[in-house]
Amino acid sequence: MAGGQSLVYRGQREALNELNVEEAAEKSKAETPLTDRLRGSLRCSGPRLKNCVLGFFPVLSWLPRYSFRDCALGDLISGLSVGIMHLPQGMAYALLAAVPPVFGLYSSFYPVLVYFLLGTSRHISVGSYAVMSVMIGGVTERLAPDSNFPLWSNETNGSVMVDVLSRDAERVRIAAAVTFLSGLFQILLGLVQFGFVATYLSEPLVRGYTTAVAIHVIVSQLKYTLGISPKRHSGPLSLVWTVVEVCYLLPETNIGTLVVSAVSIMTLIAMKQINTLFPKLPVRIPAELLAVIIATVATWQLSLDSKYNVEVVGKIPSGLQPPDLPAVSLFRLVVGDAFALSVVGYSIAISMGQIFAVKYGYQVDSNQELLALGFSNLVGGMFHCFAVSCSMSRSLVQESTGGKTQLAGAVSALVILVILLKAGELFQQLPKAMLAAVIFVNLHGMLRQFTDIPTLWRTNRVDMLVWVVTLISTILLNADLGLAAAVAFCLLTVIFRTQLPQYSILGQVQGTDIYKPVEEYKQVRQVPGVVIFRSSATLYFANTAMYAEALAEKSGIVVSKILSLKKKDEEAKLKRAKEAAGNGLELKGQSESEDKSQVIEEDGPPDSTLPHTIILDLSPVNFLDTAGVKCLTTIQKDYGKVGVEVLLSGCQNCVIESLERCGFFGEKVTKEQLFPSVHDAVLHRQLTVTSATRERSQTETQ
Amino acid sequence: MAGGQSLVYRGQREALNELNVEEAAEKSKAETPLTDRLRGSLRCSGPRLKNCVLGFFPVLSWLPRYSFRDCALGDLISGLSVGIMHLPQGMAYALLAAVPPVFGLYSSFYPVLVYFLLGTSRHISVGSYAVMSVMIGGVTERLAPDSNFPLWSNETNGSVMVDVLSRDAERVRIAAAVTFLSGLFQILLGLVQFGFVATYLSEPLVRGYTTAVAIHVIVSQLKYTLGISPKRHSGPLSLVWTVVEVCYLLPETNIGTLVVSAVSIMTLIAMKQINTLFPKLPVRIPAELLAVIIATVATWQLSLDSKYNVEVVGKIPSGLQPPDLPAVSLFRLVVGDAFALSVVGYSIAISMGQIFAVKYGYQVDSNQELLALGFSNLVGGMFHCFAVSCSMSRSLVQESTGGKTQLAGAVSALVILVILLKAGELFQQLPKAMLAAVIFVNLHGMLRQFTDIPTLWRTNRVDMLVWVVTLISTILLNADLGLAAAVAFCLLTVIFRTQLPQYSILGQVQGTDIYKPVEEYKQVRQVPGVVIFRSSATLYFANTAMYAEALAEKSGIVVSKILSLKKKDEEAKLKRAKEAAGNGLELKGQSESEDKSQVIEEDGPPDSTLPHTIILDLSPVNFLDTAGVKCLTTIQKDYGKVGVEVLLSGCQNCVIESLERCGFFGEKVTKEQLFPSVHDAVLHRQLTVTSATRERSQTETQ
């Protein structure tokens, strides 16, 4: 029945303009004033306060309803598995951050506990993360380079003995300060509900960025893998200089370290392959833990450190350190890095969190996630941690081993606590090359992202450009400046895309009210006397000039030319009149005027070859700024001068409002020149023209 | 007849999807390959070469056709008037550029001649311009501050005698270098057809910027008006420090200079008022020239310089100086300023040029204008000029006094040449305060731009924000950095505007095929069972997350919730089945499941309160990136899971292409789910639903 009805009302109706529609549909004018809306959002009440507290401490709402029977076992197993992964990853990522390994374990403990209390995602594993760690490493090495801590230096061969203890203490201080500050940024962003900043990090940008950071990570770990000590470089192009330096030092490779690296990497890959090939194994092999234990035992038994000079982790202090206020004096130096860390850390965590939320059907609150991560880092910063985010590998393990709530994270933190209190010293003989191997193997996923390039080439070249530019800028300018450059470029692509629109003349698909570009379809017919013009993009300051040019080009009506011809024509006529009066003999002007008089007849009916109407289809316009309105006004006036009427169609309400506020409508131009669809405008124009000709023919016959 | 026909074909037609339309309208697939297009644009031929030469030297095409009878007199009068204005303006603007006055005269000569040969605008008066001069002044004072040229210093009271000669020589060298470089930039931009960079300078931005520069100019001239010598400040916030310094030095004001200033300003304003009030005077009073002459004579007769210590222009060398290659070594230091100069100079000239072109019906070629200005500056830079643009006041005089071609500019250059060769020394006694007065009076138009703020507040608040931010950033950060910050902000507003779109549910205007937001119209009716959703903005990476959220919120269909309820429901049923089998007595699960079972029935028909269709109106979408396509794919899949069909409507062809390339269409989703208009989608859906219910009822009755 509904279908039948709709076919009926399609039948006959008048061509409507916006004014008709507004009257028929009774447009409501009253809007809620801004003050009322503000007041509404600031109102305070009992239930509201309760919601607020529950919102800030999600643990208060989910823990009381925790179902032991359903979740406890899964959370326990998952927590243990993730805790075991935290150990080697934490230590390895501490190397990236250029701080002693034990601080990686701290970072796997305090922030995880805070996130357990405040986080809304049930499956992500917060803690140390390669990308964040290498960004921290960039800061610590920039502000506390080896050269600042000479213990003893030999000026003849330029070798320097570094005071490692005070250097590391300073680096920990810097890492804690930048972590604290990034937490502060995240909290501030969360409080002003700026969760949306992460939306500027589009997927191609994030993938290009993480790939570039993976390359930074690999280059920074080469020294541990090869057992060499290249100079530290910082600032733009430091990656290139480091690679050059490493190549230069290749002959000095420590064979013992290289062997350990090769064996570690191969063992890890083999064990991970087994996990992948046999997904139905009763337990997942804890590849990294096994490798770490084997490497430690082997180094200890074979005395690799003393015999072959293989660098090991060294003393791991037992127990925890008391909290400390961060070094506020450093904030000034690290503000940029801290901001980059806060945005990157958040965007990685939220994207991972949203994937799981969709999969398991729950909600993650983007602003609460910002607060949760912010407090994790803030507290972490006070306990000598470095900035955390969510690790993809650990999160996948947490989910696949049956983790169902944030409790799994708390369990993993307890595992790390036990290791910190009791088992830390067992890993003193762990070779750093082994940790580098852990990092390499964990990065293979990021390097696989290079296959994005051919995929994006096929699907969307602009996105591919963003990917590649992000990669290159991050490689050349490092993680902080590179990210800023990439975001700027990414935003510019949006501008470019709206700056190079497709302009097209629309024609009618025969027998329908559908209008399609005449260039792209063969069987569309231009309505006689009507030019229908559409730009594929919003009309705003960056493309108004092009819009007017394209309209003139596509419609073939160049107002200035017509006007100047008209003017010359008038002058010529005047001259002829004068000549006739003075009986002059100059014929040049006349012959000139005859050439052009065919274009337009002064005061006569408009040239029949000229269209009588231009319809601008504005349906793709998202907003109008003053430049856009001015452009439309100019078009209306200019074409009006040569007798062409300009109608607008398909304006959204916000566009109509902008037109109204900018004074587009006046005596000459009213809302009657505005139509809800192209077809309405065409119908209106055809009807008026037909009736005009009918009237004219009637008066003529009379 | 046409109208009648159109009313008929409106009558009955099937609901069409994009596939039908493509077939009916015979979409053409073949596109010109990029290589062919490139080849086409690079082809070389005789006529093409001729056009190229004529295009580069427009003078070759218009001078041979020059009509002496029509234009000569107007061009001569106009050229003389403008030349007379060049004299005081050139000298005054030289003060802004912090170089001796004679170099302002050079700048009114060489570049004007070059523009005569290469320019395409017939009415703009190229030459010294306040905004450009103050930007140059910023560079010269930064790179050659007074403190670099001590001749003699008194350490007890801290006063320093400056070696003015060598300081000025250095400043001229710097000004010439930055001018040369900005010319080079303009030529490069012109060669790569980058005339469009000026489009980033939207009108509110340019007006806010020129207002801020006017304030910079006024502050920099206060010292001449008051006869004091504040310290020079450079870098961000220098304006603020200068104002503070001037206030501090107010008691040291030179009364003689102040009197000269006051009298000059009042005389100038009075004469300009006469010009404005009596526009029909036979000749326009050359206010500035008269004032300059009177001031010079008065100073000379009253010996103001020696008696009252009024600072005068001083020696003006006669004749011209030989050209010189610019100091390439300085380029590195001024590259940013040169780029800002090239963009600002061009954008002011082109906007002025286009105003006249539209008024008089001719074309200005934006890329040729870039080349013309570029060569003007390049040649100017070799002849010790500072960067030029188009002065609004002179251009208006050039037009109003009857100038018809570029020849007027050439005449004005000859006037300056005569002054340079013969009459320069007459102006040695001209007080600098008089020149400052010329500047002030010429700036009143720019200060009047402050009225933009209330106008823009009423018409477009985002544009007002751009205006104000540009003003503040330019005042605080100076002309170069401030411009960069303003452009960045202006581009960000575009992003913001598309990031905060209006999301609306559309309903049908009764009895028509027009769909309008239900929130804004009272008499629109939501089609039963169909949710029609539209975002006012393009769907791209920065707003995909919001799009999905808004759809869920507005449609009331939260897929994740429905799915989780469904899941619990299933589990509860399973439990009940088990309990029934094991005769268990636990009733908790059952009561829980009963609460939720009303929402969705497992395996039964979809909940009747749920709509069966979502139609996404994508007509405002300008382009789709991979994030946009992914968002649509996710929506399609997610809502499909709960039995809601998602249809797309109103896609532009470029959007359809993006969907195709990103693999949006597959087995389940075809182009049959794409409709040219919302109404087609509604019709299609209503027909299929009606026929389905009819079939069902038929089978039931059977």
Contact state of B513 with A690 under an 8 Å Cβ cutoff: no
Give the tens place of pLDDT for each residue, B240-277.
998 999 999 989 888 888 888 898 888 888 888 887 78
pLDDT class of A159 with cuts at 50, 70, 90: low
The overall average pLDDT reported for chain A is: 81
Task: Write the single-letter amino acid at A333.
Answer: L
Residues 563-582 of B with CB under 8 A from A: 563-564, 567
CB within 8 Å of chain A, chain B residues 111-150: none
> What span, in angstroms and rounded, lies between the C-alpha atoms of B257 and B431?
8
Residue of A nearest to B660 (CA): A459
Mutation for A interface: B492, B652, B684, B693, most A CBs within 10 A: B652
Residues from chain B that touch A621, judged by Cβ atoms under 8 A, are 620
- 199-218 in chain B: CB under 8 A from chain A: 199-200, 202-204
Chain A residues with CB under 8 Å of B561 CB are 361
User: Are B622 and A521 an interchain contact pair (Cβ–Cβ within 8 Å)?
Assistant: no
- Which chain B residues contact residue A502 at CB under 8 A? 652-654
- Shortest CA gap A693–chain B (Å): 10
Give chain A positions within 8 Å (CB) of B1. 690
The reported pLDDT for the residue numbered B10 is 45
A460/B630 CB distance under 8 A = no
Q: Does B561 touch chain A (CB under 8 A)?
A: yes
Buried residues in A315-347 as b, exposed as e (16+ CB within 10 A): ebeeebeeeeebbeebeebbeebbbbbbbbbbb
Mark which residues 603-662 of B lie under 8 Å from A by CB. Answer: 619-623, 625-627, 629-630, 634, 638, 650, 652-654, 658, 661-662
- Tell me the average pLDDT of chain B: 81
Nearest to A564 among B11, B361, B650 (CB): B361
| Interchain CB distance below 8 Å, B361 and A511 | no
Within 352-391 of B, beta carbons closer than 8 Å to A belong to 354, 357-358, 360-363, 366
Reported as a single tens digit per residue, the pLDDT across A259-288 is 888 988 888 888 888 877 877 766 667 777
- Picking from A100-114, A306-320, B597-611, which range would have the lowest pLDDT averaged per residue? B597-611
Of chain B residues 469-498, which have a CB less than 8 A from chain A?
Answer: 488, 490-492, 494-495, 497-498
Chain B within 8 Å of A32 (Cβ-Cβ)?
no
DSSP-assigned letters across all residues of B514-526:
-EEETTTBSSEEP
- The whole-number pLDDT of residue A158 equals 59
Average pLDDT on A518-535 reads: 87
Helix, strand, coil shares of chain B, percent, nearest 5, are 65, 5, 25
Q: Which of B361, B536, B626 sits opposite A203 (nearest CB)?
A: B626
Amino acid symbol at B317: P
| Residue to substitute from A34, A520, A623, A664, interface B, most B β-carbons within 10 A | A623
Q: Are A686 and B3 in contact (CB under 8 A)?
A: yes
* pLDDT at residue A419 is higher than 70: yes
Instruction: Yes or no: say if B642 and B562 are a contact pair by the CB < 8 Å rule.
Output: yes
State whether B11 and A10 contact (CB < 8 Å): yes
Cβ–Cβ of A24/B497 closer than 8 Å? no
Q: Looking at chain A from residue 667 to 686, which residues have their Cβ under 8 Å from any Cβ of chain B?
A: 676-677, 679, 682-683, 686
Q: Write out pLDDT tens, residues A98-152.
A: 898 889 999 999 999 999 999 989 889 999 988 888 889 888 888 888 778 877 6
Q: Answer whether A521 sits within 8 Å of B196, measured CB to CB.
A: no
Cβ <8 Å between B21 and A514: yes
Do residues B107 and B127 touch, judged by C-beta distance below 8 A?
yes
What kind of architecture, by CATH, is found in domain A503-557+610-701?
2-Layer Sandwich (3.30)
Q: In this structure, are residues A650 and A677 in contact, taking their beta carbons and an 8 Å threshold? A: yes
Mean pLDDT of A298-308: 82
pTM here is 0.76
Q: Which of B362, B527, B626 to mutate to test the interface with A (most CBs of A within 10 A)?
A: B626
How many Å apart are CA B530 and CA B515, to the nearest integer?
12
> Which residue from A1, A491, A523 is facing B491, i.e. has the nearest CB?
A491
Is pLDDT at B616 greater than 90 in this prediction? yes
- The residue-averaged pLDDT of B457-481 equals 88
Q: Does A689 touch chain B (CB under 8 A)?
A: yes
Assess B266–A contact: CB distance below 8 Å, yes or no: no
Instruction: Decide if B21 and A509 are in contact by the 8 Å CB cutoff.
Output: yes
* pLDDT tens digits, one per residue of A367-402: 889 999 999 999 999 999 999 998 877 888 888 778
ipTM here: 0.76
Predicted local confidence at residue B154, as pLDDT: 64
Dist CA A463 CA B627 (whole Å): 9
* Mean pLDDT of the B449-455 span: 89
**Interface contacts A/B by beta carbons within 8 Å:** 299
For the ranges A394-403, B564-573, B630-639, the maximum mean pLDDT occurs at B630-639
> Does the CB of A518 have a partner CB in chain B at under 8 Å?
no
Q: What DSSP character marks residue A643?
A: T
Residue A397 contacts B where some CB pair is shorter than 8 Å: no
CB neighbourhood size of A52 (10 A): 11
Strand partners, B159: B154
What's the pLDDT at A698?
A: 64
B645-649/B674-675 β-pairing: parallel
Contact B498 A494 (CB under 8 A): yes
The length of chain B in residues reads 702
CA pair distance A403, A411, nearest whole angstrom: 10
Residue A523: list chain B partners with CB under 8 A: 24-26
Contact A661 B459 (CB under 8 A): yes
Of B620, B623, B671, B622, give the one whose Cα is nearest residue B647: B671
pLDDT bracket for residue A318 (50, 70, 90): confident
Output the pLDDT for position B9: 35
- Return the H-helix or E-strand segment holding A414: helix A407-418
